[in-house]
Amino acid sequence: MVCFDRMAGTYDVLRPSPPPQVIEALAEELSDCSLVLEVGVGTGRLAVPLLERGFRVVGIDLSRKMLDVGRAKGLSHVVVGDVCHLPFRHKAFDAVLAVHVLHLVRDWPALLSEVRRVTKEKLVANWRAVEPLSPNLRQVYHESLLERGFQPGVGNRWEDELARLIPPRREARILAYEEETKLDEPLRSLRQREMTVTWDVPEAMHQAIMRDMESRFGGKSQTFRYEMHLMSWAVDDFTDEALAKVAGV
Ligand SMILES: C[S@@+](CC[C@H](N)C(=O)[O-])C[C@H]1O[C@@H](n2cnc3c(N)ncnc32)[C@H](O)[C@@H]1O
């Protein structure tokens, strides 16, 4: 399980507030819902602006420390727990929201079966796709692990894979932009093991990969194309057959 306690102090600095277009698109998608459960709510980056727009939002997260940051920002209904074992009654919520969390959960069938149990209407997911216009350092790190015969435990399946397995009712690109980034910052973030792909890598292997990457990419810049996507499934889409398809991958 991927608990973000270690990131609680820096998370809101490293992950900027969502652009207004994202909150706008989520509010529109959830407009027929009142009570929303955000799974992996973290520090409430999305939940707090949704609360401000009048939604009732309950959050669940493995990380007590991330929730503490969220509480200080106004999240009042939060629970420490695992999204695969939701401590809520049958059809308690109108919708479930999942933002940047599905890729951290290994047991998708358990998660989706819990979503189906506690939700009346829909699952809404928002995620950010990064299209590297030159090599993406997270990807380079991941490939270096595979070359060394190491398969990281998290970050292998992304939200778009769920969309391929169970087609959403609605899929929209909310916005797209390009940004030039100095690679020293993502290199620092990788070295400090702030990216989940590094979390279960043995220290000697991590050091060797970082030495190699720092000599190749240190001091350089790279342009990324970012795309923010929204996907929405009706709860009826999560049939036993659909869950079996997800389990079989
Ligand atoms: C990348 S953060 C996203 C937080 C928030 N949704 C956002 O977009 O800012 C992922 C969060 O999911 C939580 N998480 C990961 N696996 C979880 C699980 N199985 N059950 C509950 N929370 C989980 C982590 O502790 C972390 O706070």
Q: Counting atoms of ligand 1 from 1, which one is nearest the CA of 4?
A: 25
pLDDT for res 141:
93
CB atoms within 10 A of CB 166: 20
Q: How far is the CA of 39 from the centre of ligand 1 (A)?
A: 7
The whole-chain average pLDDT of the chain stands at: 91
Residue nearest (by alpha carbon) to ligand 1 atom 15: 2
The CA-based angle 88-94-100, given to 5 degrees, is: 80
Between the CA of residue 159 and those of 22, 27, 217, 219, what are the distances in Å? 16, 20, 28, 32
Residue 144 β-bridge partners: none
Ligand 1 center to residue 155 CA distance, Å? 12
Query: pTM for this one?
Result: 0.85
What are the domain boundaries of the chain? 5-247
Looking at residue 195, its pLDDT comes to 87
Residue with tokens 């309950």: 58
Instruction: Kindly give the distance from the C-alpha atom of residue 79 to the centroid of ligand 1, in angstroms, as a whole number.
Output: 12
CATH code assigned to 5-247: 3.40.50.150
State the distance from the centre of ligand 1 to the C-alpha of 42, rounded, in angstroms.
Answer: 5
In percent, how much of the chain has pLDDT > 90? Answer: 67
What is the reported pLDDT for 129?
73
Ligand 1 pocket, Cβ-based, cut-off 6 angstroms: 1-4, 15, 40-42, 45-46, 60-63, 66, 82-84, 99-101, 104-105
Shortest-distance Cα residue to atom 13 of ligand 1: 40
CA of 63 to the centre of ligand 1 (A): 8
Residue 111 alpha carbon, nearest atom of ligand 1 = 19
Mean pLDDT for 142-147 is: 91
pLDDT tens column, 213-242: 999 999 998 887 888 889 999 999 999 999
